[in-house]
Structure 1
């Protein structure tokens, strides 16, 4: 399993952080579900897209909103 976080803006004033996972076919569906639920509950990630390739590997993209604190003037 590999991961690669990136950042990019989508729309006005909203910035998202993306985390790309490549999950081997050796992991069961229930394990992958638990992994994604854990990341959602504890990391604030939400599912952006899932692609299951012909070799059985899963390409998962997670995203979470970046909240910037404004500095007082």
Structure 2
């Protein structure tokens, strides 16, 4: 650790409110990891989305939050 910053912090991630739009998704249990990754990759390629958060629950459900810059709002919403 250098510069007095805790390990694991990322510089330059200060987003002004309203700069990003978010899209919550739910991937059902039983979906393989590779299938989920493929679905999210397609959303990134076609809609400009990036992964903001992913939670894997005990029942196998994945809760995903995608984000993109608000200026890209003319692109399609995610559809899974």
When normalised by structure 2's length, the TM-score is 0.65
Within 2, Cα distance between the matches of 1:42 and 1:36? 10
Unaligned ranges ≥5, structure 1: 1-9, 69-73
**Structure with greater strand share of residues:** 1
Within 2, Cα distance between the matches of 1:61 and 1:67? 18
RMSD: 1.7
- List 4+ stretches of structure 1 deviating above 2 A: none
For 1:56-67, list aligned pairs within 5 A: 56-67=60-71
Within 2, Cα distance between the matches of 1:34 and 1:22? 14
When normalised by structure 1's length, the TM-score is 0.71
- Which of 28, 33, 37 matches 2:37? 33
Give the aligned partner of residue 42 of structure 1: 46
Aligned partner of residue 60 in structure 2, secondary structure: coil
The number of aligned residues is 58
State yes or no: 1:11 paired with 2:44.
Answer: no
